[in-house]
A and B are shown apart, each in its own frame.
Chain A
Amino acid sequence: MATTTSLKISADVEPRQAAWVRWLDLSDRSLAILLLAPAALLLALIIVYPVCRLAYTSFFSLSLTSGLPAEFAGLENYRLMIDDPVFWETTWNTVLITVITVPGALIVGLGLALMANLPFRTQWPVRLSLLIPWALPLSFAGLIFAWFFHSEYGVVNDVLNRVGLPGVIWFNSPNWAFAAICLTIIWKTSSFMALIILAGLQTIPRSLYEAADVDGAGRLRQFFEITLPLLKPSIVVALIFRTITSLQTFDIPYMMTGGGPGTSTATLAMYIHQNTVSFLDLGYGSALAVVMFALSMCVTAVYLRMIRTKE
Chain B
Amino acid sequence: MNCNIRAAALACATIFSFAAPALADTELKIYISSQHQPNVWRKALDQYEAKTPGVKVTIETGGNTSEAQAQYLNTVMSAKDSSLDVLILDVIRPAQFAAAGWTSDVEGKDLSTYLPAYAEANTVGGKTVALPAFADAQFLYYRKDLLDKYGIQPPKSWDELKTAAKTITDGEKNPELQGLSFQGKAIEGAVCTFLLPYWSQGKALTNNGRLSFDHDAAVKSLALWKSFADDGVAKKNIAEVATDDTRKEFQAGNVVFAVNWSYAWAQSQGPESAVAGKVGVARLPAMTGGESATCLGGWEWGVSAFSAHQDEAKKLVAYLSSPEVSKFMAINASLLPTYADLYKDGDVTKAAPWFADALQVVETAKPRPVTPRYNEVSETIRTTVNAVLAGVSTPEEGASQIESRLKRILR
Segment touching A, from B55-63, B107-115, B385-393: B385-393
Q: B375: CB under 8 A from chain A?
A: yes
| Chain A interface residue bracket vs B | 20 to 34
Contact indicator A261/B379 (Cβ below 8 Å): no
Contact indicator B387/A262 (Cβ below 8 Å): yes
B interface, over-half SS? helix
Segment touching B, from A5-13, A116-124, A193-201, A276-284: A276-284
Closest to A64 in B: B100
- On chain B, the residues within 8 Å of A129 by CB distance are none
With A67-B372, A278-B67, A279-B373 as contacts: A260 and B239 at CB distance below 8 Å: yes
Q: B78: CB under 8 A from chain A?
A: yes
Contact indicator B393/A262 (Cβ below 8 Å): yes
Contact indicator B78/A280 (Cβ below 8 Å): yes
With A152-B237, A172-B236, A278-B375 as contacts: A260 and B386 at CB distance below 8 Å: yes
Within 254-288 of A, Cβ neighbours of B (below 8 Å) are at 258-264, 274, 277-281
Contact indicator B71/A151 (Cβ below 8 Å): no
Q: How far is the CA of A300 from the CA of B78 in the complex (A)?
A: 33
Set A63, A169, A277: member contacting B240, Cβ < 8 A: A169
List 24 contacting pairs A-B, 8 Å CB cutoff, sorted by A: A65-B99, A65-B372, A65-B375, A67-B372, A151-B237, A151-B240, A169-B237, A172-B236, A172-B237, A172-B390, A174-B390, A258-B186, A260-B186, A260-B390, A261-B389, A261-B391, A262-B186, A262-B383, A262-B384, A262-B390, A262-B392, A263-B383, A264-B387, A281-B376
Known: A65-B100, A260-B239, A262-B392. 12 other contacts (CB 8 A): A65-B375, A169-B237, A259-B186, A261-B391, A262-B384, A262-B387, A262-B390, A274-B379, A278-B70, A280-B74, A280-B100, A280-B375
Q: How far is the CA of A281 from the CA of B236 in the complex (A)?
A: 36
Set B101, B373, B386: member contacting A262, Cβ < 8 A: B386
Q: How far is the CA of A289 from the CA of B384 in the complex (A)?
A: 25
Contact indicator A65/B96 (Cβ below 8 Å): yes
Q: A250: CB under 8 A from chain B?
A: no
Q: B75: CB under 8 A from chain A?
A: yes
Q: A139: CB under 8 A from chain B?
A: no
Q: A171: CB under 8 A from chain B?
A: yes
Q: How far is the CA of A301 from the CA of B345 in the complex (A)?
A: 72
- On chain A, the residues within 8 Å of B383 by CB distance are 259-260, 262-263
